[in-house]
Amino acid sequence: MEEKPNIDNNAEIKSPEIPPSIKKRVKSIANKWVILSLILFYPLGLILMWTRTPWKKITKWIVTGFFALVLLYSFSVSNTKIANTSNSKQQIRATQSPTATYTPTLKPSAKPSIKPTATIKITQTPTPTIKVTYKTGDNSLYPNYSLTPGEAFTGATAAQICVSGYSSTVRSVSDSLRQQVFAEYGIPYSEHTNYEVDHFIPLEIGGDNSIKNLWPEYGSIPNPKDKVENYLHTQICNGSMSLQEAQNQIVSDWYAIYLRVYGTPTNTYVAPTSAAVNTTITTTSTNSNGATALCKDGTYSYSATHQGTCSGHDGVATWYK
């Protein structure tokens, strides 16, 4: 009878041992995958490194520390770029937004829509606030204020007088009016070639053609007063001076303006004695503003009686009543 082998059912079954060459190859493949994971996506690579590789702990800590530094550096660079971008946007907004303190200077237009006409009403008379001192130059440089106080068009504006050719459109002085001017000043008309019938307030700054604005100005043409007229016209048209201010200045003392702007003229002139005497006429006249007298300092007096009139104003130059 054949005997059966004795089999121990409780004995442990051992699995076959893997050859060392295969183990080495598996480790090599695992290491390559871990390294590739660290390069492409280091969070996954770090996990595989700590769980699937037999590397020494010191090696694992060095690799982990390296990628921690890389991570910190990445955050630092990212925050710097964000801050720089924000600052650049703020600078662009600051340069593009207009400042609140800028105020453009508006100058009168060289071609205003209002055109001057020769039919402007002649009704304006000089105001009693204009003061004539006659202190800067010789008396012959100025008109007799009682005869020629100066008068301007009421409808004239800065926009009108700044139009090129304005003066020629409103100039209107007849020969008969010129003769009246010489007669009023007591100068024979035969001497008119030595004089210019001048507009005391020039047309180019709004003066009119009334006899109250005309006087026989001694000397050649052009003369220093012409330069003052051009200067005031320029000041009005560039916005540096109002029309009323320019008119007041030329009536007050045009020669003082000349000295201030141009200095002492080279062609200073003095009228003959007969003309100079006529600048101080004190005969009784009439005045449309209701004043009793014109004082020597250029102001008006409205005194009811002659006694005390123009006291404190250098006395009476002309009685009106």
Total domains, the chain: 3
What's the burial of 109, exposed, middle or buried (CB within 10 Å: 0-12/13-18/19+)? exposed
- Predicted confidence at residue 124, as pLDDT, reads 46
Q: Is residue 102 part of a domain?
A: no
- Predicted confidence at residue 275, as pLDDT, reads 44
Q: Give yes or no: residues 146 and 246 share one domain.
A: yes
- Predicted confidence at residue 200, as pLDDT, reads 95
Residue 23 backbone dihedrals phi, psi, to 5 degrees = -60, -45
Q: How large a percentage of the chain has pLDDT more than 90?
A: 31
Q: Is residue 87 part of a domain?
A: no
Q: Give yes or no: residues 158 and 57 share one domain.
A: no
Q: Is residue 173 part of a domain?
A: yes
Of 72, 64, 74, 73, which is closest to residue 42 (Cα–Cα)?
64
Q: Give yes or no: residues 234 and 317 share one domain.
A: no
Entry pTM: 0.47
Q: Give yes or no: residues 128 and 171 share one domain.
A: yes
- Predicted confidence at residue 3, as pLDDT, reads 59
Please say whether the beta carbons of 312 and 292 come within 8 A. no
- Predicted confidence at residue 1, as pLDDT, reads 52
Q: Give yes or no: residues 252 and 292 share one domain.
A: no
For the chain, residues with pLDDT lower than 70 are: 1-30, 38, 52, 83-135, 267-290, 296-298, 305-307, 314, 316-321
Place of tokens 């800065």: 158
- Predicted confidence at residue 302, as pLDDT, reads 74
Q: Give yes or no: residues 218 and 310 share one domain.
A: no
Q: Give yes or no: residues 118 and 197 share one domain.
A: yes
Strand partners, 293: 301, 319
Q: Is residue 50 part of a domain?
A: yes
Length of the chain (residues) = 321
- Predicted confidence at residue 86, as pLDDT, reads 66
Q: Give yes or no: residues 198 and 53 share one domain.
A: no
| Structural domain boundaries, residue 289 | 282-321
Q: Give yes or no: residues 313 and 202 share one domain.
A: no
Distance, in Å, from the CA atom of 84 to the CA atom of 90, rounded to the nearest integer, reads 10
Q: Give yes or no: residues 203 and 228 share one domain.
A: yes
Q: Give yes or no: residues 118 and 40 share one domain.
A: no
- Predicted confidence at residue 284, as pLDDT, reads 40
Q: Is residue 101 part of a domain?
A: no
Helix (H, G, I), strand (E, B) or coil at 267: coil
When the pLDDT of each residue in the chain is averaged and rounded to a whole number, the result is 75
